[in-house]
C-alpha cells in the first residue's frame, strides 16, 4: 500500500511511539519522561494539523466524504488520521 509510506503516516507512527515511550519513562519516575512527552505531543500536534489540511485539500472526495473524514480526524487525532491514510486509496475511492 503506497499510502502507508505517506510522510504524515510515518510521522504518526513516530509520534505514537514517542508518546508511549514518554508515558513509560514518566511512569517509572524518570524526569526525561517529561521531555519525551513534550516531544511526542509536539509531533502529534504537527501530524494532526497536517492530516486536517490533507483532508480539506483533497479534490478527489465528495463533500460528505470530506465531512466524515474530517470528523474522524478531529475526534480521534492521531489514530483517526492513520486510519484515513490507511483506507484512502489512490484510485480516487474511499474504502468505507
Would residue 92 count as lying in a domain?
no
**Residue 48 domain flag:** yes
Mean pLDDT across 71-77: 93
Does any domain span residue 68?
Answer: yes
CA distances from 8 to 21, 22, 29, 57, 82 (A): 20, 21, 31, 14, 8
User: What 3-state class would DSSP assign to 88?
Assistant: strand
* Residue 94 within a domain: no
Within-domain flag for 28: yes
Q: Say if 17 falls within a structural domain.
A: yes
Q: Quick check: is 38 in a domain?
A: yes
Domain count of the fold of the chain? 1
Q: Are 56 and 66 in contact (CB under 8 A)?
A: yes
User: Which residue range is the domain that position 35 belongs to?
Assistant: 2-87
Assign 60 a pLDDT band (cuts: 50, 70, 90).
confident
Residue 96 has pLDDT above 80, yes or no: no
78-88: pLDDT as tens digits: 889 888 888 87
Would residue 93 count as lying in a domain? Answer: no
- d(C-alpha 71, C-alpha 28), whole Å: 35
Amino acid at each position: 500500500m503506497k499510502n502507508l509510506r505517506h510522510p504524515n503516516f510515518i510521522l504518526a507512527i513516530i509520534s505514537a511511539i514517542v508518546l508511549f515511550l514518554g508515558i513509560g519513562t514518566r511512569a517509572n519516575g524518570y524526569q526525561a519522561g517529561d521531555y519525551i512527552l513534550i516531544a511526542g505531543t509536539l509531533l502529534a500536534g504537527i501530524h494532526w494539523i497536517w492530516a486536517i489540511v490533507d483532508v480539506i485539500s483533497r479534490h478527489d472526495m465528495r463533500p460528505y466524504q470530506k465531512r466524515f473524514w474530517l470528523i474522524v480526524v478531529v475526534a480521534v487525532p492521531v489514530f483517526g488520521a492513520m486510519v484515513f491514510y490507511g483506507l484512502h486509496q489512490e484510485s480516487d475511492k474511499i474504502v468505507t
